[in-house]
Structure 1
Amino acid sequence: MPRILVVYGTRPEAIKLAPVVTALRRTHCFETVVAVTAQHRLMLDQVNEIFGIRPDHDLDLLRDRPNLTGITAGTIEGIEPLLAKHKPDMMLVQGDTTTVFAAALAAFYAQVPVAHLEAGLRTSHRYDPYPEEINRRLATVLASLHLAPTSNARRNLEHEGVDPASIHVTGNTVIDALLQVHGMHLPTTEPALDRIGGAERLILVTSHRRENWGAPMERIGRAVARLARRYPQAKVLLPAHLNPIVRESLLPPLEGLDNVVVTAPLDYVDMAHAVAASTIVLTDSGGVQEEAPSLGKPVLVLRETTERPEAVEAGTVALVGTDEDRIVDTASELLDEPDRYFEMARAVNPYGDGRAADRVVAALGAHFGLREPPEEFIAPVETEAEAESRRHRRAGAPAMHPALAHLWWGAREQRQQRTAANSPQN
């Protein structure tokens, strides 16, 4: 039975690997060992708890190694003895974090093949995003099996000379994770979410990326403050990253604005509900770019580039960068013009269909000669007839996976119930 060592360290990795770990254990065709570096400590633990994953090994790196150099060295040093102990037939890593690159390098040193989930994402700008762009390029060089989320990612890999036979297009497991969380029927736990219940319109904002630290993030903060003043009946929800550099840049312009709700980072369940309840999303996060279109939410990406161009091409995501006026003008256009909003809230999700984890397991099985390779994920394309049909039913839920539509309606009903509860008549 092939032994798979699954390694991850951050919340996004945990979210996207959780469905795969679940699927691997369900098949009983693989022995699965899970190791975490804890590059994110608290947020990582929250995700593992939600999905019922108890790591076999916890390197707890961030305690003593808070910077990129320390995380890289600590991951290599921590993974090396695990490779010697378990002698895995393959290591599975996900995405573009420092944990991914360093763990893959440690596996290469031990001559253990690497499977790279979410392979092939590119901006072609080495410092944007930083350090993720280089991390994922290096992971590609080190990997033997490339699990690309989309056909565009496959093309990127083939353009770089990767053997097409080693690439499988699986869809993105972030959609699988959303569906699993929906099926758990977990309530929200952040009390501040009740404060947004009476808002007819909710602007959800997240910003934390290193390339935005300093002046770019200050511009984002000023833009959000202008939007809050321009739309006093709307609520702004900003789960602020705990990094002091982020908070010192982003939060000062928002002080004293009654319709701005700042919280600590939301756990995964609360964040899923917040996205579902939102009107528009402003973010520099990669994962949110994938999740929000699944729920019919227009996304303004607070970056100059994106490694996820599929939603931009589909029209559900717009790159606005960090220019203050551009952020305000684009968000205002969506909030003021229903036709423009409708065009972006199309919910044609190019990233997944909820079966990516099964395709990943099938690809691993095919690598070891245990089963046939999976059929590739093909992103849906909305027809003109479907678009016209939805144009006449704007008040209804967007076209999406039935379970995600249920999450959308549930968030809407919660908002309506909170609105009624906060009414002066009650």
Structure 2
Amino acid sequence: MGVTRILTVFGTRPEAIKLFPVIHALEADPRFENLTCVSAQHREMLDQVLSLAGIEPQHDLDLMIAGQTLDALTARALVAIGQVLDAEKPHWVVVQGDTTTAMAAGLAAYYRRIPVCHVEAGLRSGDIHHPWPEEVNRRVIGIFAQLHCAPTQASADALLGENVDPGSVHVTGNTVIDALQWVTRRIEEEPGLASGLAELERRFAGKRIIGLTCHRRENFGEGMRDIATAVKRIASRDDVAVIFPMHMNPQVRAVMEAQLKDLDNVALVEPLDYPNFARLLSISTLLLTDSGGVQEEAPALGKPVLVMRQTTERPEGVEAGTARLVGTNAEAILRETERLLDDPDAYADMARAHNPFGDGKAAQRICDLLATA
């Protein structure tokens, strides 16, 4: 057999984090020729990961336009990625997760009868509006993907429940654990990569750090205001400090700055590159988040996660005890945070729970599946 030509397509920082281990594995494997295409749906945050991982895309579509609508982005991505597919004629297209880029790339490949490998397949919340539009994006990819790399058995079971061909569904583990292990090794070799929080670590010495991430569209408006209210009340304690790398979206920043910017023990910082975000996870006592990736990463470091969403497509964390759904109600967020801060047994139960998301070998499993598909 000849070399298999792979086109890996992504556009956001979370995709880049979860796909760079796969790209590294593909590039090290003589069975493959790997080409990389980025939509740059996110620009600066994406570029940070590309630089860290040493990835130079063969195709950079640079589709980011401030304030563009989801339909405009989808249309532009679909056409631009289609042109790349026509030029490169890959044997497989690899996409990850549930972004607009992943859905558009998968659809463009389907239109050309090019098989799609879906990394992190099978996540389902059961609600098409939570998370929005990601739940629909990943369901769309699930219809036509020919290789479904499910991170957990629960994800595989969700696909099988949708009558996906069982022979195309494989449990690989989640590549985010591969990425976290890789960046942790890099930081050990080069501590300066994660020195960006040193000043805050000195400023908050002796306090318990709460890491905060918040950016989901479905939380815009009242949900975001309630989260800010909860964080303000948590920050009234003198034994904690909150570090919040704020998303670039102005709908996040306006709400959070209005309530939190003048508080002494809350640090509103610019988005962190991946090494410094890994450092934030490691120094935090617990995480408040509406992110998907944090639900997977923090348990790998023994950090409890309170998920500020109504549903999660990662129920394995909740079932294992590493994560707890608290929604966006300010009272619920405050109550569950204080329970972890004030009850050592409750904290230990979550911190010691088994991480169900992988062993750091997912990328190689995916390569092996592509080689035999």
Q: TM-score, normalised by structure 1?
A: 0.84
1:196 touches 1:235 (CA, 8 Å); kept in 2? no
1:297 touches 1:347 (CA, 8 Å); kept in 2? no
1:50 aligns with 2:45: no
1:207 aligns with 2:209: no
What is residue 169 of structure 1 aligned with on the other side?
171
1:234 aligns with 2:240: yes
CA–CA separation in structure 2 for the residues paired with 1:286 and 1:318: 13
Task: Pick which of 81-90 and 116-125 moved more.
Answer: 81-90
What is residue 348 of structure 2 aligned with on the other side?
342
1:253 aligns with 2:259: yes
Q: Percent identity?
A: 51
Secondary structure at 1:129 match in 2: coil
What is residue 297 of structure 2 aligned with on the other side?
291
Matching of residues 109-128 of structure 1 within 5 Å:
109-128=111-130
2:18 touches 2:175 (CA, 8 Å); kept in 1? yes
Amino acid at match of 1:269: P
1:307 aligns with 2:306: no
**1:150-201 deviation per Cα after TM superposition (whole angstroms, max 9, x unaligned):** 0000000000000000011000000000111122124245645422331431
How many residue pairs get aligned? The number is 366
1:114 touches 1:143 (CA, 8 Å); kept in 2? yes
Matching of residues 82-97 of structure 1 within 5 Å:
82-97=84-99
- Aligned match for 2:199, one of 185, 190, 194: 194
**Consecutive unaligned residues in structure 1, runs of 5 or more:** 368-426
**1:231-269 deviation per Cα after TM superposition (whole angstroms, max 9, x unaligned):** 223211011111111111223111321011110111111
1:129 aligns with 2:131: yes
What is residue 9 of structure 2 aligned with on the other side?
7
- Report deviation, 1:65: 7.5
Task: Pick which of 122-131 and 181-190 moved more.
Answer: 181-190
1:192 touches 1:261 (CA, 8 Å); kept in 2? no
CA–CA separation in structure 1 for the residues paired with 2:353 and 2:49: 25
CA–CA separation in structure 1 for the residues paired with 2:333 and 2:119: 32
- Report deviation, 1:135: 0.2
Amino acid at match of 1:226: R
1:294 touches 1:347 (CA, 8 Å); kept in 2? no
**Consecutive unaligned residues in structure 2, runs of 5 or more:** none
**1:376-395 deviation per Cα after TM superposition (whole angstroms, max 9, x unaligned):** xxxxxxxxxxxxxxxxxxxx
CA–CA separation in structure 2 for the residues paired with 1:8 and 1:121: 18
CA–CA separation in structure 2 for the residues paired with 1:2 and 1:358: 15
- Report deviation, 1:2: 1.1
Q: TM-score, normalised by structure 2?
A: 0.96
2:302 touches 2:352 (CA, 8 Å); kept in 1? yes
- Report deviation, 1:67: 2.2
Task: Pick which of 259-268 and 67-76 moved more.
Answer: 67-76
What is residue 250 of structure 2 aligned with on the other side?
244
RMSD: 1.2
**1:68-105 deviation per Cα after TM superposition (whole angstroms, max 9, x unaligned):** 11211111111112111111111000000000111111
What is residue 392 of structure 1 aligned with on the other side?
none
1:302 touches 1:322 (CA, 8 Å); kept in 2? yes
2:318 touches 2:324 (CA, 8 Å); kept in 1? yes
CA–CA separation in structure 2 for the residues paired with 1:244 and 1:159: 39
Secondary structure at 1:60 match in 2: coil
CA–CA separation in structure 2 for the residues paired with 1:190 and 1:207: 23
Secondary structure at 2:41 match in 1: coil
